[in-house]
Structure 1
Amino acid sequence: MKKIFILILSVIFSVTSATCVYASSSANLSDRKIIKQIKKYNKKIKKHPEKTKLYLKRGYLKFCLEDYKSAIEDFTTAQGLDDKNIDVYYLRGRAWFERCNYQDALDDFNKAIELKKRKSAFYVSRGLVKDRIGEYEDAIKDYTLAIKYNRRSKTAYINRGITNDKLGRYESALNDYRKAIKISKGYAPSAYYNIGLSLCKTENYDDAIENFSKAIEQNPMYSNAYYNRGLVYLKQNHLQYAKIDFEKAIQYDHQNNDAREALKSLKKELNDMYDTTLPSWMLETE
């Protein structure tokens, strides 16, 4: 049975200030709180339009709502008020990244690094841009600098591992992921997940399942971990296990179209294997 593996490499972008709850089709409670805060900053800015931090804070709240265009406008206004403020370039760079404006993101991260050379998060962010545009060796250099300035940067290790994986350096990737797990004292679902992906590429399927399972144990709603574990079960011809995992992947992420397509194909195959059509003699009437 020939099946195609679709291996999804997760890209980690650390949020250093707060945890954002992103909006779906309808605003949830957390989004309403953010919108309320934005309205407060609207009033504050009206009274004090000269204060850089007000634009930065409002821009970050807009970033949390995925309103990247408006966030960039606020960060640019802040830059006009204080062009030496490193937060302006770092935050605007992240917003450009989310909009896939990679050159603008790169320019902002370069400026942030120019203003503060020993900030680990800036190198992680620039490394992500370079990875995204295919400059993998330069990305590795940035992640390595990030680690130099912060030896406990789990994010830098994981992202360097992802880039090493893309370059086919699977052992280096595994070492980076394991370092991230050690730093996190064992709790690092994304690291276990990426270990699973690397092990799939070297056809160590049993170990891959073990690591996907650890990722799921630590994050029971990890849709891609269920999906990729399902692919491994499919490869091993454990069809019912694969079916359960694909269903779980869809349950926790309704937009996981890869899992949806895999489940559709698997159900068709299972129906073909266990044809439930009644034989003609059972349909004959006396």
Structure 2
Amino acid sequence: MKLSISIFLFLAFVWSGCDSLEDKKGRFLLKGNEKMEENDPKTAIGFYQEAIALDSTYSDAYYNKAMAHLRLNQLEEAIGDLSKSIQFRPDYFEAIFQRGICYLDNGEFYKAREDAERLLKLNSENWKSHFLNGLAQEKLKNYPAALEAFESAAVLEPSNSDLLVNQATILFYQKQFEKAKSILDQAEKINPGEPNLHNLRSMIFFEEGDYQLALDAVEKAITLDNRQAYFYNNKGLYLLFLDQKEEGLNLINQSIQMDPKNPFALRNKGIYYVMMGDKVSALSYLSDLAKNYPDMELVKEYLEKAQAL
């Protein structure tokens, strides 16, 4: 059970004219942007680097180069370029926001919170300042602060259904299921095609013990977005509890192939082996999870069941 974090990619644009230094570096920037539009980030990086060679303090070129690195899943390189961009332009709001998102994806939650605090000082009227703060506080498990931040973001950007889903997620963590479902209903009115709201709703139904409703909801999420490993993992879990164990295991394995690092999928395999009475296999999954993720839902319960087999 995992919720994704979306990375917003924006490019900086500069108009170029004749032959001055500004014009030359601007042309390299625009050539890089054209390559990004052609989905060729490797070539784009070369053009951005040419612009930087002309002006080592060119914040927009560092920023766009970072966006190209993100397209290539080069997170450390993106963070480095964003930091350069901010060094030469300390009030570069979008660069700070993107770096905060990158820090979250890189597991550097305190640094992400620092960037959120910086954005709040720069512009507390921009919803992204509160959004990044909410994401960082969520990762740090400061749930009341995260909820407050997402609420503030939603006030500033009421048409953004994701901000409501974020609020519902925090309420889910706090076991406030009725409030979470109510907010998800609001989000669905704004954007019924948001897959994460249906996935979260499925997780709430599962916690409430209504496995068929959970299955129906996650299937809707998969219909809307069939690329998310954790949707298949959740569907597999629900099928285990609906006594469709082999079909459930197949989906859990599919999820692991898509995302081998998701510990919830490994937990679900452990649950499967407990249900099948295979003590050795169950313990091989659940024992390590109990050490590394002691607070993960169902791990302690099914580890005890495995030990009792």
Provide the C-alpha distance between the structure 2 equivalents of 1:69 and 1:230, rounded to a whole number of angstroms: 34
With structure 1 as the length reference, what TM-score do the two structures score? Answer: 0.78
Partners of 1:78 and 1:246 lie apart in 2 by 41
Query: Contact 1:227–1:259 (CA<8 Å) still a contact in 2?
Result: yes
Counterpart contact for 2:8–2:98, Cα < 8 Å: no
- In the other structure, the counterpart of 1:224 is 230
CA contact (8 A) 2:203 2:214 kept: yes
Change (3 A) 1:230 1:98: closer
Q: How many residues in Structure 1 have an aligned counterpart in Structure 2?
A: 254
1:134-168 Cα shifts (integer Å, max 9, x gaps): 11000000000010000011221111111110011
Which of residues 35, 40, 53 is equivalent to 1:46? 53
Alpha carbons of structure 1 residues 63 and 31: separation in structure 2 relative to 1, 3 Å: farther
Residue 106 (structure 2) aligns with: 99
Q: CA deviation at 1:53?
A: 0.9
- Secondary structure of 2:175's counterpart equals coil
Q: Contact between 2:172 and 2:204, CA under 8 Å: does it hold in 1?
A: yes
1:228/1:147 CA distance change after superposition, 3 Å:
same
Q: Is the 8 A contact 2:232 2:255 kept in 1?
A: yes
The structure-2 alpha-carbon separation of the partners of 1:261 and 1:52, relative to structure 1 and needing over 3 Å to count, comes to closer
Provide Cα deviations, 1:195-240, integer angstroms capped at 9, x if missing partner: 1011111112121111011112222343322222222221122224
Letter paired with 1:239: K
Deviations 1:173-213 (A, max 9, x none): 122223222212x2111111111011111112121111011
The answer to whether the Cα contact below 8 Å between 1:9 and 1:194 also exists between their aligned partners in 2 is no
Q: Which of the residues 152, 159, 181 maps onto 2:159?
A: 152
CA shift for structure 1 position 128? 0.7
Partner of 1:21: none
Residue 255 of structure 2 corresponds to 249
Aligned counterparts of 1:72 and 1:254: Cα–Cα separation in 2? 24
Matched, 1:174 2:181: yes
| Cα distance change of structure 1 residues 46 and 259 upon mapping to structure 2, 3 Å threshold | same
Cα pair 2:212 2:242 within 8 Å, conserved: no
Normalising by structure 2, report the TM-score.
0.72
Structure 1 stretches lacking a partner, 5+ long: 1-7, 19-29, 273-286
Which consecutive residues of structure 2, in runs of 5 or more, have no partner in the other structure?
12-36, 279-309
Q: What does 1:120-269 align with in structure 2 at a 5 Å threshold?
A: 120-184=127-191, 186-250=192-256, 252-253=258-259, 259=265, 262=268, 266=272
Amino acid at match of 2:3: S
> How much has 1:13 moved relative to structure 2?
2.9
Task: Render the CA deviation track for 1:38-67: whole Å, top value 9, x for unaligned.
Answer: 111001111132322111111222233333
Specify which of 2, 7, 11 is matched with residue 4 of structure 2: 11
Which structure has the higher relative contact order (CA within 8 Å, separation 6+)?
Answer: 1
Q: What is the one-letter code of the residue matched to 1:234? A: L
Name the CA shift for 1:251/1:69 in 2 (closer, same or farther; >3 Å): closer
Task: Report the Cα distance in structure 1 between the residues aligned to 2:5 and 2:179, rounded to whole angstroms.
Answer: 18
How far apart in 2 are the matches of 1:14 and 1:157?
17
Match in the other structure for 2:44: 37
CA contact (8 A) 1:52 1:78 kept: yes
Aligned-residue CA RMSD in angstroms? 2.9
Contact kept, 8 Å, 1:9 with 1:197, in 2: the verdict is no
Counterpart CA distance in 1 for 2:138 and 2:147 is 8
**In the superposition, relative to structure 1, how do residues 151 and 70 fare at CA in structure 2: closer, same or farther (>3 Å)?**
same
